[in-house]
Amino acid sequence: MPFTREQMIYKAVVALDEAIGEYTGEKPRPSFALRFCLAYLFSQSDGNRLPYDEFWKYLSYEGHSGYDEDAARYVQSTRLRGCRNAIMKSVGMGGTPEVFEAVARGHRRNGRQASNS
């Protein structure tokens, strides 16, 4: 049975969150899979390319001279979350606490599927 547009968007947004490392604690890294998710989301968006380009740019962000590693990581994750939020808005996902909780559930590894999958 094919996925609906909303299910595909949800899964791609969960992948963006995974790339941010918000729930895994891992350092964000660009990948072809993530590039595909961004391309898919853009194809479903309102046509504003800026948050997609910025998201990709900030995946490789190493900080500016003078920032220690923790500060650079904070700046990077803050910018990535801002881009993610703009991307969510561009594809019609509201930024309500319920939506963010649904995205967070997509990361939980308890052996069960998230309710939106």
pLDDT of residue 74: 84
CA distance 75 to 37: 23
Instruction: Read off the pTM.
Output: 0.83
pLDDT of residue 95: 82
Q: What is the pLDDT of residues 17-28, one digit of tens each?
A: 888 876 566 777
Provide the b/e sequence for 52-91 (b: ≥16 CB within 10 Å): bebbeebbeeeeeeeeeeeeebeebbebbbebbebbbebb
Q: What is the pLDDT of residues 45-69, one digit of tens each?
A: 999 999 999 999 988 877 776 778 8
